[in-house]
Structure 1
Amino acid sequence: MRMLKLAIQKNGRLSEQSLELLRTCGIRLSNGDRKLRAASTNFPLEVLFLRDDDIPQYVEQGVADIGILGKNEVLEKARKVEMLDQLGFAACRLSLAIPREESYAGPAYFNGKRVATSYPRILQRFFAEQQIEAEIEEIGGSVEIAPGIGLADGIFDIVSTGSTLLMNGLKEVETVLCSEAVLIATPGIASEPLALLEQLRFRIRAAQNAVIHKYILLNAPDTALEEICSLIPGMKSPTILPLAREGWSSIHSVVGEDVFWEVTGQLKRAGAEGILVVPIEKMIL
């Protein structure tokens, strides 16, 4: 049986998070030492460990069927690949930054300026959309030092916390792209690996749904059941079980992580007691 071939970054935070996603999906790899490739022992999957900027080319050419990497790299390389899913981790943004002492009134600031970046395609598209004429200096690394050594007037680079900009006397002034890890695939992938890909995507969705939901259990007087059920409707409807104490029931449901605290306060006011919130390992809708 042909294995599904997945390319991921060979080291770094994105690599670790990609491997953690596979573990969450119940996929075990035989290679604990992180060589160039590893096979799963319980799913027909082979993992190739590559440089992140090489992954789009390998996927386009079918050397790897699929890949996990940042959306920013997919857009910058502009390879013919299919972007399937956003994976919800490795979030960052690509932003323009200038020296802290400079005043900034909008993108027109960059007219006639030099901007250093490792992402010239994305920046060029942005400048074209904004009708800005600027000189782009493409450099491979340490972009943040460019203004300090006189190479550029500003930079365009990945920003996570902003601490690197601060240390180099820069300030973020314009967010051009919000990025996160994405799953990409070879266009026109063959039927056999395509079937395996859909199995993998099914597992990924179950893992993602679990992350953004909590299982909630509580006790409530029967007189409050209608109000409480309206607050935590769950996937279809809550489960209600009678308690030994007459006039009381136990309610089990699922609540979204983003509204959890707001809903919990409303449940308390409605009369709920003994509220338990439990992580969900997998959630299949």
Structure 2
Amino acid sequence: MEKLRIAVQKSGRLSEDSLKLLKECGIGVPNGNNQLKINAENFDAEILFLRDDDIPEYVQDGVADIGFVGENVAIEKNKVTEIIERLGYGKCRLSIALPKSKKRKKIKDLDGIKIATSYPFILSKWLKQNKIKAEIHEISGSVEIAPRIGLADAICDLVSSGSTLFSNELYEFETILKSEAVLISGKNLSKKRKELLDKLLFRIRSVRKAKYNKYVLLNAPNESIDKICAYLPGINSPTIVPLAQKGWSSIHSVIGENDFWNVIEKLKTAGAQGILILPIEKIIE
């Protein structure tokens, strides 16, 4: 029986978050005692644990059907794969950083400098797009030390909090790529594996949509229902249930995380009482 072969980074934060997402999708990944391949539980899939840099090539070559990987890695490796879903975690940015002693005001000031990076493909493409002639020095490991030892004038590296730059007396000059975890796929999945992938994507989207929404229940006098419902579009429309107390109803709906506090304030002003907010585990549409 064919199984969907899923590549996951074998260690690190991206690995933890990817396995957590699979679990939230009802897919069990047993502890494999450092095994490189494990059969998933409750889903026809195999989990392959790989180095993140190897995942795009394994997916391109058909060893894995899909892979959880950072967008920066997927782009840098430039393999024949397709980003089929953005996952919303593992967010970071690829930026050019300069020594604090070398202040530059505009991008064109990068002309003629030497930049150390582990991302030569992405950096080269960005320099070309911006018509900047700079020398790229490819390096692996501790890129941020390059300016201090005279290896380069600047670096291009991943930035999250910025603390590493600060400790090495660097400042973030320009962001050239915003990255997050993505799901990539190969081009030649069989019919069965494509069906399994569609099922997995359905689960992932249901879980992710739930994370960005809250379920709201409230009581309101009937004369306020129209005004309150104007603030509660929900998935289709709010649910209204008459209460035992005459002239009152209970209203149920869904609020997006980004609009949450603004909507709640409007609901209270419109006459809502006893507002109850609940997390949503999954949203099935």
Is 1:30 the counterpart of 2:47? The answer is no
> Which stretch of the first structure deviates more once superposed, 16-25 or 33-42?
33-42
Tell me whether 32-41 or 120-129 shows the greater mean CA deviation.
32-41
CA-CA distance at 1:108 after TM superposition: 1.0
Q: Aligned partners of 2:97 and 2:180: how far apart in 1?
A: 20
2:265 counterpart of 1:284: no
Deviating above 4 A after TM superposition, structure 1's stretches of 4 or more consecutive aligned residues are: none
Q: Give 1:162's aligned residue.
A: 162
Task: Output the amino acid matched with 2:63.
Answer: V
Query: Aligned residue for 1:199?
Result: 199
- Within a 5 Å distance, the mapping from 1:114-133 to structure 2 comes to 114-133=114-133
Deviation of 1:284 after TM superposition, in Å, equals 1.4
In percent, how many aligned pairs have the same letter? 53
Residue 253, structure 1, aligned to residue 277, structure 2: no
The CA distance in 2 between the partners of 1:8 and 1:140, in whole Å, is: 22
Distance across 2 between alignment mates of 1:227 and 1:96? 50
Does the 8 Å contact 2:216/2:275 carry over to 1?
yes
Aligned to 2:49: 49
Aligned to 2:243: 243
Deviation at 1:34, TM superposition (A): 4.0
Separation in structure 2 between the aligned mates of residue 260 and residue 144 of structure 1, nearest angstrom: 40
Contact 1:31 1:39 survives alignment (8 Å): no
Distance in 2 between residues matched to 1:61 and 1:240, nearest whole Å: 53
Note the C-alpha offset of 1:104.
1.8
Q: Quick one: distance in 2 between partners of 1:215 and 1:204?
A: 19
**CA deviation map 1:122-179 (0-9, x unaligned):** 0000000111111101001101111111111110000011111001000001010000
Alignment CA distance shift 1:113-1:4 (3 Å): same
Q: 1:32, CA displacement in angstroms? A: 4.5
- The equivalent residue for 1:269 is 269
Q: Please, what is the CA RMSD of the aligned residues? A: 0.9
Q: Structure 1 length normalisation: TM-score?
A: 0.98
1:89 aligns with 2:89: yes
Alignment check: 8 A CA contact 2:19 2:29 kept: no
1:137 maps to which residue?
137
Q: Provide the C-alpha distance between the structure 1 equivalents of 2:40 and 2:51, rounded to a whole number of angstroms.
A: 21
Q: Which runs of 5+ in 1 are unaligned?
A: none
Aligned residues: 285
Amino acid at match of 1:19: L
